[in-house]
Structure 1
């Protein structure tokens, strides 16, 4: 959660005009009737739009606000960032009108749909001639419920495999490549994992909870109909054996995991890990986040799932069901998925959800390192289909998996079958505790 920049009372005061529109905004109060609206002149679109999301005020303005204001100079934008003290339900209860929101696919199900605040977008998209065909379908699958779209993707925090060239050079090992399998990555990892001069080198590691969210076999965690965990099965056994068990059999690695749990710093500060699977976000701050001779390759594929990369890990935007400015909000959303805006963001190192070649080719071109790095790895393969999400997935990921059984396996203290049995038991207990609070 990010720090608050204003109190709820101030927010309510600042947003008191949220429903006010100008005659220049064609029917900005409610969705237009069936049919399409006349082309909108961005210079004349007038409305007061209030956004809500997890991003800080600074990040919202940097990523979205400044570009929306430039495109629509007569729009008034107010942004409210969520904090522990300022949650969605509190803002709604204060009477502050909300028009648009930033969300993940998980937050849509956890927060916005249960609160009846998520607007179905299909009628608005039809009215405003919004073309979603350039969007990679996997991004839409995660936010389509009963064939209704509730969010549109703005960006993806794409997973890649970073690697430290100096470690590979030191031990004379071939660099990773796009299209390699996890079995081939395991072979490279074994060649790098060794103790030399008192330093325990580790061939490959990752942020387990991040990878678990985007597994390439799209494993579900909870049955939405029964609210029971579904992790003690062959799908999760496949992931745990191929990743968390196979890559942690070295005694030196297990000893290190017992002494001090593995972390980002082992790769990008202490330079002990040769390959690290994580999001593309490190590339945006490469000067400080990647202080080594680095490059990237696509996340390895399973031979059982050829051509599939990880699931989307996207940021989305939606329109609230209570907005009095839905037409204006749809015009803004239409701009944010446009080739114009997406190209600007792509140059800045924001991974696009569009399949448009020119937008993808622009990736990271504002960065000096772009010409010398394997940027095309960002778009290698197809995103895996999104799993069926529930509001209890994070309990499984954080508590049952990441903080418990993944560590026990890596420390050499637990086999996969025992780990999954324990994870399912723990998950069901945690879910039941949450259900009793409702």
Structure 2
């Protein structure tokens, strides 16, 4: 009996041990477990995912996203198309070669996406994948939702966006023994500093201040639109007069003469004889290495708001014709993950997330930005987006609007026109442009 009891006990123990090994089947060493795992993990069918963008080179896309996509989606071949001759979105739609993923933005949302009837609302995908859109800065989500005009979520914000900053030439401040500007300055304080730094020395004219008139006025902290969202013509001339007056006083400083065009004024700082410049922090903005520059926060009005003017980001969107919508959304999630945005931020690309830890590492891996005061970009929160006309209403292209304002300001700063005349003419030209657009309908 004792021998039989021992045999039963041994049999039970062996069963338990075998069961224990079998319980590790998904990662254990048993032959059966390995076979089951291989059976479960059938290779996914290979296919091609087409991604279309305007303005982002293949080199930049590869640097930022390709490694992540290859790792997470090894069975997918990425066909990357950058808009160009013969391969615009219009060309692709006409040839019935509509991409799966498109990099769109608010200014071209209608003309480059929705007008082709390829828009796809990501709301259902967000629900399906329980994706938290609250991780993004609310300003950027609100802008794309409002731009679509129907409450649809036509895209998720991809870095960069373009915050404004105040650049300064450290060598000129050292040369003239003037203290560097600081974060948190007001426009009045900046004006006083610009007056100090504007001088003629040794026959050389040193300008205290320059600005890109187009983006300085367009991306204003008041979020003031050029074309009225609800009426035909310039929106709120009184507030536009305030913005013109604020900027004009810098060009009324003796010897601080504005260049003849916005593009030339935009590049004036690069010559090395301009002390201060308001402009976007923009990875595509190239300042020559011989200019020893740094940045501080963008100046604010005495009575606020304490926000940073900015130009919004682009958005990853999916087309309604894609046969791979789920995997397209998964790819977008990967490209906008914390890991991807940390990598972007370290390269100097401002994050679209409301994550201060990711914002803090801005520029740390870049040989130029790592030596600059990049915290200036995070000193204020981004200003709200500029209200647009309702989707489908007759409008004037954004480029036309901003050029009307930029060119008008140049004429005012050159003394050719007064502010009231310039604003009245902008209003008249906007109305004329609207009539042209209406005639096309």
TM-score, length of structure 2 as denominator length:
0.81
Relative contact order (C-alpha < 8 Å, sep 6+): which is higher? 1
The corresponding residue for 1:355 is: 354
Q: Distance in 2 between matches of 1:350 and 1:45?
A: 35
Q: Distance in 1 between matches of 2:251 and 2:321?
A: 50
Q: Distance in 1 between matches of 2:307 and 2:119?
A: 30
- Alignment check: 8 A CA contact 2:227 2:401 kept: no
2:435 aligns with one of 426, 432, 435? 432
The corresponding residue for 1:324 is: 323
Matched, 1:313 2:312: yes
The 1:77/1:213 distance shift into structure 2, 3 A limit, reads farther
Q: Distance in 2 between matches of 1:419 and 1:224?
A: 20
Matched, 1:237 2:241: yes
The corresponding residue for 1:279 is: 280
1:257 aligns with one of 251, 256, 259? 259
Q: Distance in 2 between matches of 1:323 and 1:259?
A: 44
1:352 is displaced (CA, Å) by 0.7
Which runs of 5 or more structure 2 residues have no equivalent in the other structure? 1-40, 390-394
Deviations 1:369-425 (A, max 9, x none): 5554211111111111101235525244343122x2111111122221111111111
- Alignment check: 8 A CA contact 1:47 1:328 kept: no
Deviations 1:325-358 (A, max 9, x none): 1111111111122111111111122111112232
The 1:234/1:85 distance shift into structure 2, 3 A limit, reads farther
Cα RMSD, aligned residues only: 2.5
| Structure possessing the higher radius of gyration over alpha carbons | 2
The corresponding residue for 2:415 is: 412
- Alignment check: 8 A CA contact 1:409 1:419 kept: yes
1:195 is displaced (CA, Å) by 2.5
The 1:326/1:212 distance shift into structure 2, 3 A limit, reads farther
2:217 aligns with one of 206, 212, 218? 212
Q: Distance in 1 between matches of 2:273 and 2:318?
A: 45
- Alignment check: 8 A CA contact 1:192 1:274 kept: yes
- Alignment check: 8 A CA contact 2:220 2:310 kept: yes
The 1:397/1:204 distance shift into structure 2, 3 A limit, reads farther
The corresponding residue for 1:12 is: none
The corresponding residue for 1:107 is: 108
Matched, 1:153 2:163: no
1:224 is displaced (CA, Å) by 4.3
Matched, 1:246 2:256: no
SS of 2:134 mapped into structure 1: coil
1:47 is displaced (CA, Å) by 4.7
Q: Distance in 2 between matches of 1:395 and 1:292?
A: 30
Matched, 1:162 2:161: no
The 1:125/1:261 distance shift into structure 2, 3 A limit, reads closer
Deviations 1:281-300 (A, max 9, x none): 35x786x6443221111111
SS of 2:417 mapped into structure 1: coil
TM-score, length of structure 1 as denominator length:
0.82
Q: How many matched pairs?
A: 390
Matched, 1:50 2:50: yes
Matched, 1:126 2:130: no
Deviations 1:197-233 (A, max 9, x none): 332222222212222331110011223455x232451
Q: Distance in 1 between matches of 2:228 and 2:45?
A: 44
1:115 is displaced (CA, Å) by 2.6
SS of 2:278 mapped into structure 1: strand
The corresponding residue for 2:10 is: none
Q: Distance in 2 between matches of 1:139 and 1:339?
A: 17
Q: Distance in 2 between matches of 1:64 and 1:196?
A: 49
For 1:181-200, list aligned pairs within 5 A: 181-200=186-205
Deviations 1:105-135 (A, max 9, x none): 2111342223332211111111112112221
- Alignment check: 8 A CA contact 1:138 1:312 kept: no
Q: Distance in 1 between matches of 2:99 and 2:315?
A: 16
SS of 1:49 mapped into structure 2: strand
1:50 is displaced (CA, Å) by 1.1
1:178 is displaced (CA, Å) by 1.3
1:434 is displaced (CA, Å) by 3.2
